[in-house]
Chains A and B, each alone.
Chain A
Amino acid sequence: MNDAGAAAPAPARSGVPGPALRRASLLRSLRTPWPWLTLAVLALLVVFLLLPLVQVLVGSFGSGGRSGWAIVAAEPRYLQAVLNTVMLGAVVTLLALVIGVPLAWFTARFDFPGKGLIAVLPLVTLVVPEVIAAQTWLMMVGNNGLLTRALAERGIELPSFYGWTGLVTVMTFTYYTYVYIGTLAAIRGFDVQLEEAAQSLGTSPAVSRWKVMLPVVLPAVLASALLVFTLAVGNFAVAMVLSNKVPLLSVLTYQATVSEVGSDPTLQSTLATISVAIVMLALFAQRRVVARGRREVVQGRGAVPARLAGWRGAALGAAAALVVAVSLLPVASIAVGAFTQARGPVMRWGQWTTAHLERVFTRAIDPLLNTLTYAAIATAIGITLAVIVSYLVVKKRNALTPALDYLTALPLALSGTVIGIGLLMTFNTGWLSLTGTGSIIVLAYVVRRLPFGTRNASSTLFNIPDSIEEASISLGVPPGRSFVRVVLPLMAPAIVAAAVLTWTTTVAELSASIIVYSGGRETMPIQIFRLIDSGLMAQASAYGLLLVAVIVLPIVLATRLTRIDLFASRA
């Protein structure tokens, strides 16, 4: 009321805001707590996520002496590793698409015997940590594997599972579910009326499906493909256990970081930078493809699955069952392995014992306790952050929230190895020295899993209309208390789901924690990894069984007690 007269002789009535108007609206918003909270969270993310990443990128140019790029360029092994890594990523992505897309299509559109089995697939990805997947495949078809030996007795020689065969097989069967989940959601969300409209206009079913459905489903398929590519390129556990003579980027990066003869920060930074660059390039390519054919589909009528009977139904059922069986193999064999007698690396299949589990509980319980402690703290911090970030991004948008949104998603594009190296380089010494403490492990967990919780919380918040909060305020309850009394209870199911997801992925975390951990702070995945490295499969299985239990228990509790659909807002 009094700023117009003070400003210019002719106050703008044009509807185009002048600088005075904009400044006034900025000042008004600064009186609310939200810009300050945004700033605080942003500062945290800059220090604990962006700064480490920058350290890695900058470190690649070396300090004074040699540039990491010169070393990498001079050594053909590194170039080979880059090529291998990209190739592995591409092949695994392709195979995951080949399995995942048809599986999703048939599940969405047809009924066939044994379809229910496929419903457990999303769970498998969660329940089986990558390091266990690698281990169990080795227990079956490795040099000393159950199947290898059984077949050898019949005179059949299996090719060595180490190297490309193992890498591609294990990663494909670990990651195809991401494609499956993503594609399934897209197909289910697709409006059949579009397809029917195309058919009514005279195109044949096959053609109309291709023309109408593909462009709509494609973005989801490509997004999941990118995810698989990112995971395969950044994969540490499987690569480490199985790569053997195939040089891979993640393995060399890890070795450069922890090598006995004094780690080489320049080299590790360079290798980490390359893997970041590969993922960024893939992300960029995917964006280009998706942007060209962006389409909005209004939620319409879903398709009713057609019943497939006879030999086609049976064949489909059998194929699905095979896929599920292979996916479930790790859980089954780990249970067997944990109770099988072993002398050193030699498994005595068929002879049972409980000695391994007893040993874990009596003499080596630290990894279990460490895992539970660190993961619990990380989950609590991560979920709190996720709720705050998603509330700011969805409900209290301001000039800074897009940066917040982007930063919280950033860890999705970074491998655990890169995150671990960044944290190690940033918090090794200096103003905040965390190396050798448990807090750097917790930090690695929080940073790595932040996107899970945030995406979950955001998608629920999107579905809670602003008017509910405003209704509460209009009834006389201040904004802060309105959030706690009205919005938070509605978010509770999503928070529980996000917490469970964060927990399950955190207790299984290996690639970042193995870089930042110090002696005595081993977690179960680290311990399993070290035991596999020493060939002690039975002991590794015992920990693996425990790890799976630690993962499954909260899932069962959450779904039983709260009847929450854990996968409602995933993918």
Chain B
Amino acid sequence: MGSAAPEAPARTARPAAGAAAASPGIHIESLSVDYGAQAVIEALDLDIERGSFFTLLGPSGCGKTTLLRTIAGFVPARGGRIRFGERDVTALPPHLRDIGMVFQDYALFPDKTVFDNVAYGLRARRVDAAGVRRRVGEALERVGLAALAARLPAALSGGQRQRVALARALVIQPQVLLMDEPLSNLDAKLRLQVRQTIAELQAEAGITTVFVTHDQDEALALSHRIGVMNRGRLEQVGTPAEIYRRPATGYVADFVGAANLLPVTLARAAAAGETAQAVLAGGPGGAPTRLAALAVAALGAGEALLMARPETLRLAHADADAGAGAGAAALPVRVLRRQFLGDKTSYRVQLASGAELQVDRHGAGHDAHQVGDAALLAFDPTATLVLAR
């Protein structure tokens, strides 16, 4: 009965159960958006696979929320096309797009009970009373709030409210689920719990999901794919592992996880996937040092950026036999600061050139180096990248 969904005549019939098959991909072609009279997004392309969990990650003001709201239809597109599967929704007002939306501030209707909040979308779709009761009951059961159906939103905790909002968005079995920083109003512990709920529900429903956040941990933990946004452009789109291990730009490297970024020069051009020889100033005695590093994209000769995650760097005592690794260059450094963090120690070290790096050491003896010690720093050539400056 609930599958009748009579309000969108243009939509093709889709199976009521097993929503996984029904949720379409989202396809965006050369999308341009202005906010007021300001161009915010210019010629953006993006394909989100059906049934996948896609995260838009970036700092505030990067355009990620604008992009989400354009997909939802609240912000009109100036140019380009947005399709849900084969359906072109670019000119469709939001209430006809068949979306489920979860807001940062929950946006529950404060004068309606939990039950009525969840039932709202079903009633708008003229689902009969029995159907409403059954489906709301199921939806609340799934988010573990069946016992609180009669409460008003004011009587719920933040985490419970966002679960209600999630149930309200999913109970209408929308084509796509859009979430605008749904976890950022929650405290750290609740954030983890609700994050878990979101992951489970998304996997269960197999619904194509766009999730907006500025929190890299959320993005890495939840997503099939992540799009890192900067100034209205997508800097990189990839799996969490790709984004973390093979960031395409210094911006992405710096925004996702901790990254040491050092200016280097390339003696000659490098093809994508090739190991290049980067020249870093400040080796032993201040002389330039050659370091092997992976070129993520094709690079020309000249200035470039060396990227190394803190946990990929190794420290050895200065008097030890340096370069024990497979011919990796070792640079003399001085330990400036250290933070003992239990499972690891985080060091701040300085090269002879004056540049500083962060080094995280795990495993036995990770806290062996003291402040003021001289040490030798070694790069892992497979985990060190050269990027365009």
Contact = CB atoms under 8 A, between A and B. Distances in A.
A21 B78 contact: yes
A1 B30 contact: yes
A9 interface: no
Nearest to A482: B95
B contacts with A: majority SS: mixed
A474 B110 contact: no
Interface stretch (B98-106, B273-281, B301-309, B363-371): B98-106
B109 interface: yes
A25 B76 CA distance: 9
B111 interface: yes
Interface in A447-505: 465, 467-468, 470-479, 482, 486, 489-490
A474 B93 CA distance: 10
A563 interface: no
Contact of B34 (A25, A475, A476, A489): A25
Contacts of A13: 42-43
Contacts of B43: 13
A24 interface: yes
B94 A473 contact: yes
B344 interface: no
Given A465-B107, A468-B109, A475 B37 contact: no
A467 B120 contact: no
B125 interface: yes
Contacts of A467: 103-105, 107
Contacts of B34: 17, 21, 25
Most B C-beta atoms less than 10 A away, residue of A1, A4, A15, A474: A474
Interface in B113-155: 120-121, 124-125
Contacts of B93: 473, 478-479
Interface in B53-96: 72, 74, 76, 78-81, 93-96
A467 B172 CA distance: 18
Given A25-B78, A474-B169, A17 B121 contact: no
A276 B76 CA distance: 45
Nearest to A15: B39
Nearest to B78: A24
A22 interface: yes
Contact of B37 (A17, A473, A482): A17
Interface string B37-48: 111001100000
A260 interface: no
A24 B168 CA distance: 35
A292 interface: no
A13 B178 CA distance: 28
A476 B124 contact: yes
Given A1-B30, A467-B105, A468-B107, A475 B39 contact: no
Interface in A293-331: none
A490 B78 contact: no
B38 A490 contact: no
A550 B39 CA distance: 56
Contacts of A475: 95, 100, 120-121, 124, 168-169, 172
Contacts of B96: 476
A21 B93 CA distance: 20
Contacts of A477: 95, 120-121, 124
B172 A476 contact: yes
Interface string A15-53: 111000110110010000000000000000000000000
Interface string A56-90: 00000000000000000000000000000000000
Contacts of A157: none
B90 to A, nearest CB: 8
A153 interface: no
Given A4-B79, A24-B78, A490-B111, A474 B72 contact: yes
Contact of B38 (A17, A24, A468, A470): A17
Contacts of A465: 105, 107
Contacts of A476: 7, 95-96, 98, 121, 124-125, 172
B107 A470 contact: yes
A28 to B, nearest CB: 5
A27 B178 CA distance: 28
A470 B37 contact: no
B111 A489 contact: yes
A472 B42 contact: no
A153 B124 CA distance: 78
Contacts of B101: 470-471, 474
Contacts of B100: 474-475
Nearest to B232: A15
A490 B74 CA distance: 22
A475 B96 CA distance: 9
Nearest to A16: B39
Interface in B166-183: 168-169, 172, 178
Report the 8 A-B pairs with minimum CB-CB distance, sorted nearest first: A475-B121, A467-B107, A474-B101, A471-B107, A1-B79, A467-B103, A17-B37, A477-B124
14 contacts: A2-B79, A3-B79, A13-B42, A28-B76, A465-B105, A465-B107, A467-B103, A468-B110, A471-B107, A473-B74, A474-B100, A474-B169, A475-B120, A476-B121
Interface of A: 1-4, 13, 15-17, 21-22, 24-25, 28, 465, 467-468, 470-479, 482, 486, 489-490
Interface of B: 7, 30, 32, 34, 36-39, 42-43, 72, 74, 76, 78-81, 93-96, 98-101, 103-105, 107-111, 120-121, 124-125, 165, 168-169, 172, 178
